[in-house]
Structure 1
Amino acid sequence: MNAERPRTAMSEATGEDIVLQAFRAESSRLSEVLGELTEAQFALTTPCPPWNIAELVVHITSAVARVLAGLTAPAPPRANIVAADYYRPAIFDDAANAERVRMAQSDAAMYRNATAITAAFDDTWRQTDTAISGQPADRLITTRWGDGILLSEFMITRVVELVLHGLDIAIALGVSAWTTSEAATVVGDFLQIEPATTHLGWDRRTALAKASGRSALSTRESAELARLNITWRRFG
């Protein structure tokens, strides 16, 4: 899969980049959800073992904070990758994954309670929203892996993190996904789910869960995807 989107994707209604809209909508919704959870719910295990919800939220917060880190560092001379390249297997090997797990667990242990974890996420996404608003279309940042990327492309990956890990939290809670329509559109385009939704009759939230591996495929669905030559990698 080689997912790309038009570089000038703008809302006709507001003239604002749809990825920025998606980031704001999904972050705000997640903050609302987290604010309603109990300490016991923050301790529930997630589909991202060994993380519980508290640790997964801290990981999401760190993912969003990467934007602020990128904006404060010197801009790279050029873009080496687009959003789809960010999730290449070479930088998500066992060692890198183990380090991500360790960091989230260590960072989560520093918070006194669930309220503090929720407040940290809320503060981080709002700071990020302010920082990226009004940035030029050609703004470049450097990822933690040393790649140059357009800020607009990097923000796609942040919406992917919010949506897919939001699905993980919903699964852990045993509730329906709350994915916002704005974010579902961005991640749906990124995962290229439209052919599957058309042929299999999925709604967008179902397609996102299926395409990202959060929901199992039936035998019929697997056969139809194979017939259409559609494959997806697991993201997030």
Structure 2
Amino acid sequence: MSTVLATFRAEADALGHVASRWAPDDWGRPTRCAPWSVRELFAHVHVALAWLPGMLTAPAPEAAQVSAAGYYRPDHRFSPEADAARIRFAQDRAPGLDVREFRAFTADLADRCAAEPPGRVVRTRHGDAMLLDDFLTTRVVELAVHGLDLADALGRPAWLTPPAADLVLGLLFGRPASELPGPPDRLLRQATNREPPSPALTRLNLTPLTLN
């Protein structure tokens, strides 16, 4: 199993574990990702992962052309029209979402990815040809960043796993969390415009990502 896949499995399982303990009232709370509630944001994360099975069954492109950072380039996929469609899709999926199935769903995704050969290339729904590990890196970004959004909406401590912190902060800064100033969850909030940047952060070489 690749390091990226192990990180994906751990971060997804951490979200499923904490979500299984949320009270009914928790799911209706607002998040910073307006207009989504906690349930709708959770549904968005589920949708972001649910593209994987179709990508794995589709023919593999000959070569990767887009990196994990390149996936987050500011093009049509983050246009107002695309954002509006993304919002509606999550809202439509939210009512039927069964959180009890999330951990089994993500474990099955990880198992399916583990069965793929090294160097497997996939094509995203946006048409990008990417290494599977690079696409999984973007799924860890979704889990980690929106995990912070969910934790903050609920007033809970962040459950960001150390491997996910290292992977995402490495993508953003080229260095693991241990080599960066401050708690990893706070650095990730600052780097994704969820908190004002500290003076220490502004001195770092940040690779900006266009995020929803």
Asked if TM exceeds 0.5, the reply is yes
Q: TM-score, normalised by structure 1?
A: 0.82
- In structure 1, the gaps of 5 or more residues are 1-15
**Mapped pair 1:92 → 2:78:** yes
Task: Say whether the 8 Å CA contact 1:141–1:148 is kept in structure 2.
Answer: yes
Determine the structure 2 residue equivalent to 1:43.
28
Determine the structure 1 residue equivalent to 2:94.
108
Root-mean-square deviation (CA), in Å?
Answer: 2.1
- In structure 2, the gaps of 5 or more residues are none
Rounded to whole Å, the distance in 1 between the matches of 2:49 and 2:119 is 20
Change (3 A) 1:176 1:77: same
Determine the structure 2 residue equivalent to 1:162.
143
Determine the structure 2 residue equivalent to 1:17.
2
Q: How far does the alpha carbon of each residue in 1:64-103 deviate from its partner, in whole angstroms, 9 at most, with x for none?
A: 1111120011112221201111111102111111110000
Task: Say whether the 8 Å CA contact 2:170–2:177 is kept in structure 1.
Answer: no
Rounded to whole Å, the distance in 2 between the matches of 1:79 and 1:173 is 39
Per the TM alignment, residue 208 of structure 1 is displaced from its structure 2 partner at its CA by: 1.3
Q: Percent identity?
A: 37
Rounded to whole Å, the distance in 2 between the matches of 1:146 and 1:195 is 30
Rounded to whole Å, the distance in 2 between the matches of 1:67 and 1:187 is 19
Change (3 A) 1:36 1:58: same
**Mapped pair 1:235 → 2:203:** no
Determine the structure 1 residue equivalent to 2:12.
27
3-state SS of paired residue (1:141): strand
Task: Say whether the 8 Å CA contact 1:22–1:159 is kept in structure 2.
Answer: yes
Rounded to whole Å, the distance in 2 between the matches of 1:226 and 1:27 is 30
Q: Number of paired residues?
A: 211
Q: How far does the alpha carbon of each residue in 1:29-63 deviate from its partner, in whole angstroms, 9 at most, with x for none?
A: 11111000011101111111101111111111111
Task: Say whether the 8 Å CA contact 1:27–1:162 is kept in structure 2.
Answer: yes
Per the TM alignment, residue 230 of structure 1 is displaced from its structure 2 partner at its CA by: 4.3
Task: Say whether the 8 Å CA contact 2:172–2:206 is kept in structure 1.
Answer: no
Q: How far does the alpha carbon of each residue in 1:115-171 deviate from its partner, in whole angstroms, 9 at most, with x for none?
A: x53124223212201101132121111101111111011000000000000000001
Q: TM-score, normalised by structure 2?
A: 0.91
3-state SS of paired residue (1:78): coil
Rounded to whole Å, the distance in 2 between the matches of 1:231 and 1:75 is 28
Determine the structure 1 residue equivalent to 2:193.
213
The letter for the 1-side match of 2:208 is W
Among 162, 167, 170, the alignment partner of 1:186 is 167
3-state SS of paired residue (1:89): coil
